[in-house]
């Protein structure tokens, strides 16, 4: 966990800008008045970077510790401490950003320049120079995070349900009304967040403007080693390429849901009601695999069942995931990881259950924080989180401003890439599965994977389409919810199952909105992980089809992966991508090739159906 750079989720640094633009030369008022105004030297710039790095390192350790307890033991006190340390960090970063701007016109080597730029771009939410506003913003950030963690729904009979309980019902229930009750119960918990969120947007935008950005969304889009508008265009391009695959999946799933619930409940020319897809946010649909499984090609096992059969508890699940990484040549996780992580939901207090991975000291104090449920879905999430931890450890010897992934999509893609290698062959190798199904069952496996990975794509894109417009003022507070549902309909083809109003704050029911974690990273990760998987399978010389490939035990693949990971953020992401895949571009052809056999099947199934919404 790294609040400034925030590679792995959790807390957000609220940094106050003091009116100096991050991307423009600092104002020079007394240019001709003597030696103090002479442009600073490159040696001074280097010395500044060294000093700022050391100060940042020390502050990060404090803020990480405060945030860890605020997330694993939610009380008014831990919330206040988190706000206080984040504010302290803010003040320091503001001072350093000001000082960094002094070197805007200094000729420095490329490496010093990149570190100065990383420092100036590090903020997720900037705050205005007014200290009272900085404090207010830090307080709101901590409060929203706690509110999400504490969210609960009380049923009519008095039963109190947390998100995990409700998600389990969403995953397994096939009762329309029961799923609806869960959906509405959870979404309603977000309503009280709205006024806080509105104020947070105002404050963060003020801060972003003082730093020279049009708004907070513009700041977020500037972090990708390319022009911010070009980055937005790149996303549109990637989405256009994968949309036909998504549309085919949507059409087939809607038809199957129509068969299950009736076409009165699931009209075949309209968006799908958002509560029927096995997930609270309809973002990953793997839990309804049974409703859409292709006839005669079901692989005949499910990982949840295999874990239960072999007596896997939460710890054994984490050990199992660690075993994949060590098979590639990565060193095992340290003792402190096992002692300090939160694997199981504590029964006596509120915590933020949303999974996250933490690096407290940029040395060896790695941890995950989860409320693990013993399911195949969560087994994949554990791999996801450990991907963050192994990345963090790989770049720990980089300068502090490079202790981050190549871009945030890379951080999110590593563990998922490993999880793509959790194939039947691998499950057999580790003794979870007795017999590997033959190739006639591949379609079932591809369907299951597509329900998670392809279904996710539009959701991965739309969360920040909404936030960017909220930050830019294009979506006003009195349109928040309506705009949210317009985007969900446009991109995902899903609709709210009951009428919603502007008293609702449905975006706030998704962790990353009150948690202030940018979301475009997950869209990027879902494209990138298939590129990484393909490249690693080639390196591991796995000859079969890419959906059957597992890089388990391949030291060659591990070495190549580690080479990219240990670069951290020291080079533009395009170079990191090239180091592993041989090409500097994001390329959706890998995900399309992976699912090509499924696409053929879907197109066949969809013949004669009217698709779209």
Residue 175, classified by CB atoms within 10 Å of its CB into exposed (0-12), middle (13-18) or buried (19+), is exposed
Query: Whole-angstrom Cα distance, residue 283 to residue 510?
Result: 10
Tell me the longest C-alpha to C-alpha distance in the chain.
Answer: 83
Comparing CB distances to Zn ion, the nearer of 220 and 601 is 220
For residue 168, CA distances in Å to 303, 307, 378 come to: 16, 17, 11
Angle between helices 228-261 and 520-539 (to 10 degrees): 90
Q: Which of 70, 83, 355, 560 binds ligand X8Z (CB under 6 A)?
A: 355
For the segment 508-527, give every residue that binds ligand X8Z (CB under 6 A): 522
**Binding partner selected for residue 355 from Zn ion, ligand X8Z, none, CB under the kind-specific 5 to 8 Å limit:** ligand X8Z
- Residue 9 interacts with ligand X8Z (CB under 6 A)? yes
Active site residue 355: yes
Site for Zn ion in 556-575 (CB under 5 A): none
CB nearer to Zn ion: pick between 404 and 412: 412
How far apart, in whole angstroms, are the C-alpha atoms of residue 249 and residue 482? 26
Residues 449-478 that bind ligand X8Z (CB under 6 A): none
Contact 85, 33 (CB under 8 A): no
* 533 tagged catalytic: no
Helix (H) / strand (E) containing 262: none
Catalytic residue from among 153, 289, 522, 601: 522
381 binds, among ligand X8Z, Zn ion, none (CB under 5 to 8 A by kind): ligand X8Z
Q: Which class for 71: exposed (0-12), middle (13-18), buried (19 or more C-beta within 10 A)? A: buried
C-beta of residue 404 within 8 angstroms of C-beta of residue 5: yes
Task: Confirm whether 66 is a catalytic residue.
Answer: no
Least Cβ distance, residue 327 to ligand X8Z (angstroms)? 23
Residues 384-413 that bind Zn ion (CB under 5 A): 412
Which among 415, 375, 370 is positioned nearest to 529, based on CA atoms?
A: 415
The active-site residue, picked from 355, 406, 507, 590, is 355
Q: Which of 87, 356, 554, 570 binds ligand X8Z (CB under 6 A)?
A: 356
Selecting among 142, 412, 507, 519, the annotated active-site residue is 412
**Rounded least distance, CB 165 to ligand X8Z, Å:** 17
Instruction: State how far the Cα of 368 lies from the Cα of 371, in Å rounded to an integer.
Output: 10
Nearer residue to ligand X8Z within complex by CB, 200 or 283:
283
By a kind-dependent CB cut-off of 5 to 8 A, residue 356 interacts, out of ligand X8Z, Zn ion, none, with ligand X8Z
Tokens of 307: 């874990």
Listed residue (161, 105, 53, 134) closest to 399, CA to CA: 53
Residue of 187, 250, 252, 354 with catalytic role? 354
Is 190 one of the annotated active-site residues of the chain? Answer: no
Is 385 among the residues known to form the active site?
Answer: yes
CA 492 → CA 222, 241, 252, 270, 295, distances in Å?
Answer: 26, 15, 14, 11, 26
Q: How far is the CB of 65 from ligand X8Z (least distance, A)?
A: 20
- The 3-class SS string of 183-242 reads HHHHHHHHHHHHHHHHHHHHHHHHHHHHCCCCCHHHHHHCCCCCCHHHHHHHHHHHHHHH
How many residues touch ligand X8Z under the rule CB under 6 A: the total is: 8
The residue nearest ligand X8Z at its CB is 355
Residue 197 interacts with ligand X8Z (CB under 6 A): yes or no: no
Decide whether 140 or 525 has the Cβ nearer to Zn ion.
Answer: 525
Nearest approach in angstroms of CB 94 to Zn ion is 28
Task: Print the binding letters for residues 382-401 with ligand X8Z: x by CB under 6 A, - otherwise.
Answer: --x-----------------
The closest alpha carbon to 455, from 274, 587, 606, 266, belongs to 274
Number of Cβ within a 10 Å radius of residue 61: 15
522 is catalytic: yes
Q: How far is the CB of 414 from Zn ion (least distance, A)?
A: 9
Residue whose CB is nearest to Zn ion in the complex, by number: 412
Q: Would residue 412 show up in a list of annotated catalytic residues for this protein?
A: yes
Considering the complex, state which of residue 64 and residue 283 has its C-beta at the smaller distance from ligand X8Z.
283
- What the block records as the tokens of 339 is 């002692």
> How far apart, in whole angstroms, are the C-alpha atoms of residue 399 and residue 52?
11
Q: What is the H or E stretch that residue 349 is in?
A: none
Q: Which is nearer to ligand X8Z, 457 or 602 (CB)?
A: 457
The nearer residue to ligand X8Z, 304 or 356, going by C-beta atoms, is: 356
Residue 235 site contact among Zn ion, ligand X8Z, none (CB < 5 to 8 Å, cut-off depends on kind): none
State the nearest-atom distance from the C-beta of 9 to ligand X8Z, in Å: 4
Our CB check for ligand X8Z shows the closer of 20 and 525 to be 525
CA dist., res. 44 & res. 200, Å (int): 37
Closest approach of ligand X8Z to the CB of residue 381, in Å = 5
**Between residue 366 and residue 385, which ones bind ligand X8Z under the rule CB under 6 A?**
381, 384
Q: Is 367 helix (H, G, I), strand (E, B) or coil?
A: strand
Residue 526 annotated among the catalytic residues of the structure: no
Question: Nearest approach, Cβ of 459 to ligand X8Z (angstroms)?
Answer: 8
Site for ligand X8Z in 256-315 (CB under 6 A): 283
Residue 252 tokens read as: 């087939």
CA angle 530, 535, 539 (to 5 degrees): 145
CA distance 231 to 225: 9
Toward ligand X8Z, which CB reaches closer, 384 or 488? 384
Interface positions with ligand X8Z (CB under 6 A): 8-9, 283, 355-356, 381, 384, 522
Interface positions with Zn ion (CB under 5 A): 412
Active site positions, annotated: 354-355, 384-385, 388, 412, 512, 522
């Amino acid at each position: 966990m790294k609040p400034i750079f925030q590679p792995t989720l959790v807390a957000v640094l609220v940094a106050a800008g003091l009116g100096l633009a991050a991307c423009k030369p600092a104002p020079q008022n007394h240019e001709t008045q003597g030696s103090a105004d002479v442009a600073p030297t490159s040696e001074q710039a280097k010395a500044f970077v060294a000093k700022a790095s050391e100060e940042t390192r020390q502050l990060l350790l404090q803020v990480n510790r405060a945030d860890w307890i605020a997330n694993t033991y939610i009380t008014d006190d831990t919330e206040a401490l988190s706000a206080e340390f984040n504010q302290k960090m803010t003040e320091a970063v503001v001072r350093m950003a000001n000082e960094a701007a002094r070197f805007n016109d200094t000729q420095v080597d490329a490496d010093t320049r990149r570190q100065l730029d990383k420092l100036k771009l590090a903020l997720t939410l900037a705050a205005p120079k007014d200290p009272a506003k900085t404090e207010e913003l830090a307080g709101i950030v901590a409060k929203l995070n706690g509110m999400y963690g504490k969210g609960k729904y009380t049923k009519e009979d008095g039963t109190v349900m947390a998100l995990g309980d409700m998600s389990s019902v969403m995953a397994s229930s096939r009762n329309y009304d029961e799923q609806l009750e869960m959906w509405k119960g959870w979404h309603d918990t977000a309503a009280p967040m709205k006024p806080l969120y509105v104020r947070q947007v105002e404050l963060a935008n003020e801060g972003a403007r003082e730093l020279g950005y049009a708004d907070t969304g513009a700041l977020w889009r500037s972090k990708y080693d390319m022009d911010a508008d070009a980055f937005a265009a790149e996303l549109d391009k990637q989405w256009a390429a994968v949309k036909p695959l998504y549309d085919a999946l949507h059409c087939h799933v809607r038809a199957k849901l129509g068969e299950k619930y009736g076409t009165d409940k699931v009209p075949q020319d309209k968006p799908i009601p958002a509560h029927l897809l096995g997930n609270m946010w309809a973002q990953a649909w793997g839990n309804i695999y049974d409703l859409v499984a292709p006839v005669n090609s079901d692989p005949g096992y499910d990982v949840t069942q295999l874990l239960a059969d072999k007596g896997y508890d939460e710890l054994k699940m984490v050990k199992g995931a660690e075993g994949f990484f060590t098979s590639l040549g990565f060193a095992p996780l340290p003792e402190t990881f096992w002692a300090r992580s939160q694997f199981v939901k504590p029964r006596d207090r509120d915590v933020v259950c949303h999974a996250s991975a933490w690096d407290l000291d940029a040395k060896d104090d790695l941890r995950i924080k989860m409320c693990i449920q013993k399911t195949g879905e969560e087994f994949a999430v554990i791999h996801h989180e450990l991907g963050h931890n192994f990345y963090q450890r790989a770049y720990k010897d980089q300068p502090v401003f490079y202790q981050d992934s190549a871009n945030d999509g890379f951080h999110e893609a590593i563990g998922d890439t490993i999880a793509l290698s959790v194939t039947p062959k691998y499950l057999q190798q580790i003794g979870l599965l007795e017999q590997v199904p033959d190739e006639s069952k591949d379609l079932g496996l591809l369907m299951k994977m597509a329900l998670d990975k392809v279904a996710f794509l539009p959701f991965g894109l739309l969360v920040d389409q909404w936030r960017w417009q909220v930050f830019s003022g294009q979506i006003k507070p009195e349109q928040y919810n309506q705009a949210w549902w317009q985007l969900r309909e446009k991109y995902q083809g899903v609709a709210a199952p009951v009428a919603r109003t502007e008293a609702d704050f449905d975006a706030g029911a998704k962790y990353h909105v009150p948690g202030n974690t940018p979301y475009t990273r997950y869209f990027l990760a879902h494209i990138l992980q298939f590129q990484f998987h393909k490249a690693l399978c080639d390196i591991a010389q796995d000859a079969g089809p890419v959906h059957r490939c597992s890089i388990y035990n391949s030291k060659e693949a591990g070495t190549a992966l580690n080479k990219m990971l240990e670069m951290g953020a020291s080079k533009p992401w395009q170079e990191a991508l090239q180091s592993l895949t041989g090409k500097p571009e994001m390329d959706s052809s890998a995900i399309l090739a992976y699912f090509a056999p499924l696409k053929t099947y879907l197109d066949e199934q969809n013949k004669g159906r009217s698709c779209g919404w």
